[in-house]
């Protein structure tokens, strides 16, 4: 880090922590190296390091990142020589610690992030991939005795985690309006925490979070690597579980797969019910499209969709529900603008970019794996030098499919087949092209493999 960068960070910290805190806690620190996303800060005493770590680390991280530095952790090391100002630090520390105790102020009113009215159970389409998550969410939304705590929902991007969280919150509020339900993203949790530190309102913060009946935190993976936030989250979590209050968490992966999440936090997150939303299948995608179609038709009455269009979209757009939904919205907007009906031609025109980017990229390695499984030979034999027909034919099939289904050139394909020459690949491809016409078994194998790879 350059001197100038550190000086910018210090200036911003001065504004957020105030002159007193700055002189006592920030000014004496001397930055060291940044390694693997960890910045070393040299501090005069262990006590000093602990205090800064507990009270200011998220702020420091935030400002360091704002300066464009890729830092996810702070490491406090004892400075060889006392840093400037350090002699005065312990004395001032006492004052500051005392000063951080806030005056007794009533806790602020519990407020939730606004709930999206579109996200209710009524318009959540259930299929095999999400039925367990849906059932668990429904159970929690009934608001009965707490049976699993926390409920941990996870799944890839755009598979409906936030939708289910909002649906639970809405349902709980409707069934039991007196219940205080706090829904927020993990990012908002962190910013509230940092703000409470800055404004010296930690007591209010703690009281607010410990007084709710249901706490819902979306995208918890966000706090990974943010040590003080994790610590505070851990205490909040424990306090609520102790009081038998329901906690619902979502993340983009399972607790054990969240890197840089403390082990104790991971283990707490797993002690209730962990359910995942699997990637959608064709039937679920079609169901979702049909339900979104009704919404679109209310906005654009009279606009019809030709048979086969929804099926085509469900087949082609497999990445996530958000993209699927966006595609339908765009189709309707486009059709109503140009005054055309929604048929296959319009769909191809209007969604060319989405359809192109959602085409699955098949790799040579995948092809090799599938083909060797199909012919029941080892992958190493397919790539290796053996020339026996029982290896050579599958190898040629794999070369042919690699040419057809990937954008790799012949030399690139050759390199992936044990460093073979491009002429060998060309020969293999031609041989299979010939056999495809004369050998019905080969033609059938190609058809089957092609379909399996594209699905």
Ligand X SMILES: Nc1ncnc2c1ncn2[C@@H]1O[C@H](COP(=O)(O)OP(=O)(O)OP(=O)(O)O)[C@@H](O)[C@H]1O
Closer residue to ligand X (CB): 158 or 225: 158
Closer residue to ligand X (CB): 163 or 370: 163
Closer residue to ligand X (CB): 153 or 449: 153
**Pairing between β-strand 181-185 and β-strand 214-218 as defined by DSSP bridges:** parallel
Closer residue to ligand X (CB): 128 or 315: 128
Between CA 321 and CA 299 the distance in angstroms is 20
Is residue 161 marked as binding?
yes
Between CA 184 and CA 217 the distance in angstroms is 5
Closer residue to ligand X (CB): 44 or 158: 158
Residue 416 burial by Cβ neighbours in a 10 Å radius (0-12, 13-18, 19+): buried
Binding site for ligand X (CB under 6 A): 119, 123-125, 130, 155, 157-163, 219, 252, 288, 321-322, 325
Minimum CB separation from ligand X for residue 159, in Å? 4
Closer residue to ligand X (CB): 123 or 358: 123
Q: Which helix (H) or strand (E) holds 236?
A: helix 227-242
**Pairing between β-strand 38-43 and β-strand 30-35 as defined by DSSP bridges:** antiparallel
Closer residue to ligand X (CB): 43 or 125: 125
Phi/psi for 151 (5° steps) reads -90, 120
Other Cβ atoms less than 10 A from the Cβ of 46: the count is 10
Q: What is the CA radius of gyration of the chain?
A: 29
Minimum CB separation from ligand X for residue 203, in Å? 32
Residue 454 burial by Cβ neighbours in a 10 Å radius (0-12, 13-18, 19+): exposed
**Residue 211 structure tokens:** 């007084």
Could you write out the DSSP letters of every residue in 242-294?
A: HTT-EEEEEESS-GGG-TT--HHHHHHHTSSEEEEEPPP-HHHHHHHHHHHHH
Minimum CB separation from ligand X for residue 228, in Å? 24
Minimum CB separation from ligand X for residue 251, in Å? 9
Closer residue to ligand X (CB): 133 or 377: 133
Minimum CB separation from ligand X for residue 119, in Å? 6
Q: Using CB atoms, what's the residue nearest to ligand X?
A: 160
Minimum CB separation from ligand X for residue 127, in Å? 7
Phi/psi for 311 (5° steps) reads -60, -40
Minimum CB separation from ligand X for residue 247, in Å? 17
Is residue 160 marked as binding?
yes
Between CA 19 and CA 421 the distance in angstroms is 70
Q: Please report where in the chains the tokens 């702020």 appear, as a residue.
A: 59
Other Cβ atoms less than 10 A from the Cβ of 351: the count is 21
Q: Which helix (H) or strand (E) holds 35?
A: strand 30-35
Minimum CB separation from ligand X for residue 261, in Å? 17
Minimum CB separation from ligand X for residue 322, in Å? 4
Q: Which helix (H) or strand (E) holds 163?
A: helix 161-175
Give the C-alpha distances (Å, rounded to integers) separating 358 from 31, 316, 317, 319, 347: 45, 7, 6, 7, 14
Closer residue to ligand X (CB): 325 or 366: 325
Other Cβ atoms less than 10 A from the Cβ of 171: the count is 19
Phi/psi for 48 (5° steps) reads -60, -50
Q: Is 317 helix (H, G, I), strand (E, B) or coil?
A: coil
Minimum CB separation from ligand X for residue 287, in Å? 8
Closer residue to ligand X (CB): 351 or 410: 351
Phi/psi for 259 (5° steps) reads -65, 145
**Residue 141 structure tokens:** 């939304």
Is residue 158 marked as binding?
yes
Q: Which helix (H) or strand (E) holds 314?
A: helix 309-316
Instruction: List residues forming the annotated binding site for ATP.
Output: 158, 160-162
Q: Which residues are annotated as a binding site?
A: 158, 160-162
């Amino acid at each position: 880090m350059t001197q100038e960068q550190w000086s910018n960070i210090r200036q911003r910290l001065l504004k957020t922590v105030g002159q007193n805190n700055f002189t006592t806690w920030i000014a004496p620190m001397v930055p060291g190296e940044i390694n693997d996303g960890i910045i070393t800060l040299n501090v005069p005493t262990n006590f000093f390091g602990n205090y800064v770590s507990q009270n200011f680390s998220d702020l420091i991280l935030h400002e360091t990142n704002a300066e464009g530095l890729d830092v996810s952790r702070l490491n406090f090391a004892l400075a060889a020589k006392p840093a400037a100002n350090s002699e005065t630090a312990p004395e001032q520390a006492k004052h500051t610690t005392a000063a951080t105790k806030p005056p007794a102020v009533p806790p602020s009113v519990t407020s939730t992030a606004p709930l999206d009215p579109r996200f209710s159970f009524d318009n959540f389409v259930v299929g095999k991939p999400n039925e367990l998550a849906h059932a668990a969410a429904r159970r929690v939304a009934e608001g009965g005795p707490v049976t699993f705590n926390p409920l941990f929902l996870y799944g890839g991007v755009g598979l409906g985690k936030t939708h289910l969280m909002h649906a639970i919150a809405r349902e709980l509020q409707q069934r039991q309006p007196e219940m205080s339900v706090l829904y927020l993203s993990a990012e908002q949790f962190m910013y509230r925490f940092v703000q409470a530190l800055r404004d010296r309102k930690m007591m209010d913060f703690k009281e607010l979070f410990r007084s709710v009946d249901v706490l819902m935190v979306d995208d918890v993976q966000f706090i990974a690597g943010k040590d003080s936030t994790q610590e505070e989250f851990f205490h909040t979590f424990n306090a609520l579980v102790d009081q038998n209050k329901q906690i619902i968490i979502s993340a983009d992966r399972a607790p054990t797969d969240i890197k840089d999440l403390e082990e104790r936090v991971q283990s707490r997150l797993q002690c209730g019910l962990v359910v995942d939303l699997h990637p959608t299948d064709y039937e679920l995608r079609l169901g979702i499209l049909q339900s979104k179609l009704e919404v679109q038709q209310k906005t654009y009455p009279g606009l019809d969709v030709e048979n086969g269009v929804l099926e085509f979209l469900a087949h082609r757009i497999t990445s996530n529900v958000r993209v699927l939904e966006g595609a339908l919205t765009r189709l309707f907007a486009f059709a109503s603008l140009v005054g055309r009906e929604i048929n296959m031609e319009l769909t191809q025109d209007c969604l060319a970019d989405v359809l192109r980017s959602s085409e699955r990229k098949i790799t040579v390695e995948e092809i090799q794996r599938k083909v060797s499984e199909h012919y029941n030979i080892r992958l190493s034999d397919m790539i290796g030098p053996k020339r026996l027909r029982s290896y050579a034919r599958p190898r040629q099939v794999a070369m042919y499919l690699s040419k057809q289904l990937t954008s790799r050139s012949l030399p690139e394909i050759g390199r992936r087949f044990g460093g073979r020459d491009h002429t060998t690949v060309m020969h293999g491809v031609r041989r299979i092209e010939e056999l495809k016409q004369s050998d019905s078994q080969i033609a059938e194998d190609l058809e089957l493999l092609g379909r399996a790879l594209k699905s």
